[in-house]
Structure 1
Amino acid sequence: MTTRRDYLGFSAAAGLALAAATARAAEGPKRKLKILILGGTGFIGPKQVRYALARGHQVTIFNRGRQKEDWPGPVEELLGDRNTGDLKALEGREWDVCIDNPTTLPFWVRDAAKVLKGKVKQYIFVSTISVYAANDKPADETAALAPYKGADPMAETAQTLAKDPFLYGPLKAVSEAQARRQFGEAATTIVRPGLIVGPGDETDRFTYWPVRLANPGGRWGPQVLAPGDGSDPVQFIDARDLAEWIVRLAENGTPGTFNGTGKPIPMKTFLGGVAAGVHTDPRLTWVSTKFLQDHKVQAWSDQPVWIPNQGETAGFHHRSIVRALKAGLTYRPLPLTAGDTLAWFETLPPDRQAKPRSGLTPERETLLLAEWKTGKSG
């Protein structure tokens, strides 16, 4: 059983990290920037916009439709469509930095460079840790990347990616290379996030756990199925921490490649931190990885955030963040992320809350716990 008390030591360290982040933000930027954000309407984009405005920067966003956000300051909104190559709104303009959030397709980077090369001093490309060729052992940013094996990466479209999701990592890797080729190593920053979590995450890949441990409405039983033995590490990052750090990378003109994810913590510590954030003391039943695999319980989806620390996935949650920490990445305390995420989820319509998009259903969890208990006692 894991209680909130198990989390106290980690929480204290995380509190220091939050204090450091707050102090860093209070210092203010060394210079005011003109920032262009490609894709300012997704998960991290609006958070970048708000943080940049709070720090006095001039912000322009570029997307296919006007944002319905109530921005806390003036935001220039340009319209276009990168799928069709419509970038006319960017022509003849200059910015200090371009933050490219949504790109997976290499031709998007190529086309952006046609109008932005020489017009921006820094290009920040938001990639993914899925670019790595293997996840079987701990590694840093120098690890081999997933090779693209198709005929022409520049011919890949959103439609082909939808048909073959396994192209995601290789195409991001090609996009990274295209960014460096077009804008130059000294002016290119590559950020490779891990699992991005927090308020506003519609995938529920993290949200499941605050919801499950808080058990709103009593839809689940009193016993919580927890994966493995609690020792498997997990890595993730609050979208707000990621967004704010990217803006600071822009302020500092920092080039290079960085794994933008969190510090590895044991699953037991993770659930303890979530419990602390939603003010509960859950009754956890740790169920072996073998049992879960035998019963086709999927890591990452049925048991979100978690992946077994063995075999081909032994290094998935062991990506080095040394470079990112040196470049100023800081983190909110996990209980704050969990509490804020639950509060956001509870603002959603009742029918949406009734069906989380990740995690076990109450019925399946009850059956699995019953089988686990029978097997252990039989």
Structure 2
Amino acid sequence: MRILILGGTAFLSAELARQGLDAGHDVTCLARGTAAEPPSGVLWVRADREAGPEAYAGLDGGWDAVVDVTRDPAQAREALAALGSRSGHWSFVSSCSVYARHDQPGADESAALLAPLPPEQEASPETYGEAKSAIEKLTMDLAGEKSHIVRAGLIGGPGDSSDRYGYWPARLALGGDAVLVPDIPGDPVQVIDVRDLAAWILSAAGKGLTGAFNAVGEVVPFGEYIGECRKITGTAPEVVTAGTAWLESQGVNPWSGEDSLPLWLPPEHEGFMARSNAAALALGLRLRPWQETLRDTLADELARGLHRPRKAGLRPETEKKLLASLRPA
């Protein structure tokens, strides 16, 4: 196939480019390349999508498949207008954040969506779900029957810069006498390996698969996930659990950000990491064992350095202070 990736330098889009090349496809990446360059072997069209429609002026010919990962509706609209008629298949990597509710475990693609972000409103981190919803609608409206909407869940694996799935194996690998863990052993953890997600997007393009699908992993209880983290790191710090009400009272944040505990979700998010993947599995999504993803995530964390600054997790000084409150001398 002749494939155009709108991106190609970071995490999922870079993995798409690598796998596309490995499969023998003709891969073009349109990207700025300010933080990283696309994999060697792709045709790199250097452009900044913030420049507007002229960003696509350097792209010639047509493509069997286009993949877009943007979170900006304006960029999506411009790309569809410039390239939609020259593409045989259009994949948009959306998010399960488009759903209006997150409190229903097992919900499938028929669940209600957030209202699309209005065209006059600029996308922001606070309107991420609404922006992705808007792009889904644009894709369906402008690419029509050739649209493949990929509603990704939490994406993990080597190269993940969000620091959410990797926080816990990295923290256990650091050892110490104790580690603070939220008391949520039965809560779901659902991650899809970036390599499995990329493989399915490329496979779906080759088959001409269309429609909207949850691209999510299998559900694993948090306690089992932490146990496997302990096993693969070979460390044995005391696991000190804290109730969610106490953590909230101490200013600890759920999910991500500074002084957070990743994979701990706020109230009414019981289904956020427990969505149905049955439709995608029936149409070719293949998932490696989650333990393999975890092992490879740990290897990546070790290679990048356990003491590096992180976007999610407790700072060492914060964890020390909290543990002292829970375990007074």
**TM-score, length basis structure 2:** 0.90
Equivalent residues in 2 for 1:78-97 (5 A)?
A: 78-85=45-52, 86=54, 87-90=56-59, 92-97=60-65
Matched, 1:182 2:142: yes
Matched, 1:366 2:320: yes
Aligned-pair CA distance for 1:69: 4.8
Answer yes or no: is the 8 Å Cα contact 1:35–1:57 preserved in 2.
Answer: yes
Partner of 1:271: 226
Separation in 2 of the partners of 1:282 and 1:323? 40
Counterpart code for 2:132: K
**TM-score, length basis structure 1:** 0.79
Q: Which region of structure 1 is more displaced relative to structure 2, 325-334 or 42-51?
A: 325-334
Partner of 1:222: 177
Equivalent residues, number = 322
Partner of 2:90: 123
Aligned-pair CA distance for 1:307: 1.4
SS in 2 for 1:254: coil
Separation in 2 of the partners of 1:247 and 1:192? 15
SS in 1 for 2:172: helix
Corresponding residue to 2:78 among 86, 111, 117: 111
Matched, 1:355 2:315: no
Give deviations 1:228-278, integer Å, cap 9, x for gaps: 241111111221121122111112211111111211211011112333333
SS in 2 for 1:161: coil
Q: Which region of structure 1 is more displaced relative to structure 2, 78-87 or 49-58?
A: 78-87
Aligned-pair CA distance for 1:111: 1.4
Tell me: CA distance 1:274–1:324, structure 2 relative to 1, closer, same or farther (3 Å).
Answer: farther
Matched, 1:68 2:37: yes
Separation in 2 of the partners of 1:70 and 1:78? 13
Answer 1 or 2: which has greater helix percent.
1
Equivalent residues in 2 for 1:180-329 (5 A)?
A: 180-184=140-144, 186-215=145-174, 221-301=176-256, 302-307=260-265, 311-329=267-285
Separation in 1 of the partners of 2:161 and 2:239? 25
Separation in 1 of the partners of 2:171 and 2:318? 13
Structure 1: give runs of 5+ residues left out of the alignment: 1-32
Tell me: CA distance 1:277–1:48, structure 2 relative to 1, closer, same or farther (3 Å).
Answer: farther
Give deviations 1:258-316, integer Å, cap 9, x for gaps: 111211211011112333333445532222222212222211121112215xx421221
Answer yes or no: is the 8 Å Cα contact 1:276–1:335 preserved in 2.
Answer: no
- More contact order relative to length (CA 8 Å, sep ≥ 6): 1
Structure 2: give runs of 5+ residues left out of the alignment: none
Runs (4+) off by over 6 Å: none
Q: Which has the larger radius of gyration?
A: 1
SS in 2 for 1:206: coil
Counterpart code for 1:316: F
Aligned-pair CA distance for 1:113: 2.0
Separation in 2 of the partners of 1:68 and 1:195? 24
SS in 2 for 1:262: coil
Corresponding residue to 1:343 among 271, 274, 299: 299
Counterpart code for 1:35: I
Separation in 2 of the partners of 1:172 and 1:114? 18
Matched, 1:57 2:19: no
Separation in 1 of the partners of 2:155 and 2:104? 21
Give deviations 1:107-146, integer Å, cap 9, x for gaps: 2222112222221111000011111112122321111111
